């Protein structure tokens, strides 16, 4: 029975993929998928990447329709950077708890307390918060962005763990918001110690959204893209991975001869996994749900994103 169910599922996926290809041509659509998406989404994406790469693709595309397979703030960022495009997300319930941890009123109060500080906001944030921001960043370019601002003082929102990591690589005085990524923050020293005991020859690579004490145990720390690149180029054959498990798709694709152990079975973002292939096809058929950002917010938020893309 199980084999029959798997066969039926494979047939359904082939039908869905064929429908998706037809719809892409009809709509002149492009599919962007974050590395944390399900394998079935990443397999059909035109571009896979982290927040920074996908923001660039959204800004550059000639497509009429962008389907953003990620969470809501990513769709917002695409719409802000490409206001003339139709931006769809497969499931509008795909939110980000970290983004919800910072609000406009709180940020404005902090800005009033530190009027001489530049506001650097992690891209994992709402359009409204981006509109209150001087410059955005991603985990790929956070250190470069912070070091690029002209002020000596920086208000950093919302991820305290990434903020702590950046603080180790800058002379700026950082006022750090108390947000965090629910998934990465779950990873503990005990998790790493247990995995190292089981796999003593493996290198430990982690995302800077992890807790500082976990980051301190790593052989390599970097964004999702940086982790994938490091593992691909490394001469080592075995790795303990401290980031969301969707990354495994690209890791295995790039390095089929290497072994990857995820540092915890809990490294799964439930919001990223809300999307699936059926929902992706349905949203392109119905042209819904669409992402909308009020023009007065988008105009201000666009400046912070464009400044980020200009940092080299």
Contact 28, 64 (CB under 8 A): yes
Per residue in 57-68, pLDDT tens? 998 999 999 999
Chain centroid to CA 135: 17
Contact 161, 181 (CB under 8 A): yes
Per residue in 124-172, pLDDT tens? 999 999 999 999 999 999 999 999 999 999 999 999 999 999 999 999 9
Architecture (CATH level 2) of domain 2-95+272-286: 3-Layer(aba) Sandwich (3.40)
In sequence order, the β-bridge partners of residue 290 are 88
Select from 57, 71, 68 the least CA-distant residue to 244: 71
Contact 70, 45 (CB under 8 A): no
Architecture (CATH level 2) of domain 184-262: 3-Layer(aba) Sandwich (3.40)
The C-alpha angle 181, 51, 138, rounded to 5 degrees, equals: 70
DSSP for the chain reads -HHHHHHHHHHHHHHHHHHHHHHHHHHTEEEEEETTS-HHHHTT-SEEE-HHHHHHHHHH---SEEEEES-HHHHHHHHHH-TTSEEE-S-TT---HHHHT--HHHHHHHHHH-TTEEEEEESSS-HHHHTT-SEEE-TTTHHHHHHHSSSSEEEEESBHHHHHHHHTT--SEEEE--B--TTGGG--HHHHHHHHHH-TTPEEEE-TTS-HHHHTT-SEE--HHHHHHHHHH-S--EEEEES-GGGHHHHHHH-TTSEEEES-TT---TTGGG--HHHHHHHHHHT-SBP---HHHHHHHHHHHHHHHH--
Per residue in 195-206, pLDDT tens? 999 999 999 999
Measured CA to CA, the distance from residue 55 to residue 78 in angstroms comes to 6
Question: Same CATH fold, 98-181+295-310 and 2-95+272-286?
Answer: yes
- What is this structure's pTM? 0.94
What are the boundaries of each domain within the chain? 2-95+272-286, 98-181+295-310, 184-262
pLDDT, the chain, mean: 96
Q: What is the CATH number that goes with domain 98-181+295-310?
A: 3.40.50.10800
Residue 247: band (very low, low, confident or very high) from pLDDT cuts 50, 70, 90? very high
- Say what the pLDDT of residue 123 is: 95
């Amino acid at each position: 029975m199980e084999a029959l169910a798997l066969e039926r599922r494979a047939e359904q996926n082939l039908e869905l993929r064929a429908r998706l290809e037809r719809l892409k041509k009809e709509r002149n659509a492009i599919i962007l998928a974050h590395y944390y998406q399900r394998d079935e989404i990443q397999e059909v994406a035109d571009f896979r990447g982290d927040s920074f790469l996908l923001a660039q693709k959204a800004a550059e595309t000639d497509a009429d329709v962008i389907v953003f397979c990620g969470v809501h703030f990513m769709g917002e960022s695409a719409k802000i950077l490409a206001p003339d495009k139709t931006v769809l997300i497969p499931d509008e319930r795909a939110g980000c708890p970290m983004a919800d941890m910072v609000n406009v009123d709180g940020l404005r109060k902090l800005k009033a307390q530190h009027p001489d500080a530049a506001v650097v906001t992690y891209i994992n944030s709402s359009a409204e918060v981006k509109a209150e921001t001087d410059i955005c960043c991603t985990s790929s370019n956070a250190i470069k962005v912070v070091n690029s601002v002209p002020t000596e003082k920086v208000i950093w929102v919302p991820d305290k763990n990434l903020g702590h990591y950046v603080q180790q690589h800058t002379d700026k005085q950082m006022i750090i918001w108390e947000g965090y990524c629910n998934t990465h923050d779950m990873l503990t020293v005990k998790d790493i110690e247990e995995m190292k005991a089981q796999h003593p020859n493996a290198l430990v690579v982690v995302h800077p959204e992890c807790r500082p004490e976990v980051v301190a145990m790593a052989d390599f720390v970097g964004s999702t893209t940086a982790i994938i690149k490091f593992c691909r180029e490394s001469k080592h054959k075995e790795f303990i991975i401290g980031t969301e498990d969707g990354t495994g798709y690209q890791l295995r694709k790039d390095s089929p001869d290497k072994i990857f152990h995820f540092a915890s079975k809990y490294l799964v973002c439930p919001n990223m996994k809300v999307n699936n292939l059926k929902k992706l096809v349905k949203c392109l058929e119905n042209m819904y749900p669409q992402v909308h950002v009020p023009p007065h917010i988008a105009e201000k938020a666009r400046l912070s994103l464009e400044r980020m893309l200009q940092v080299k």
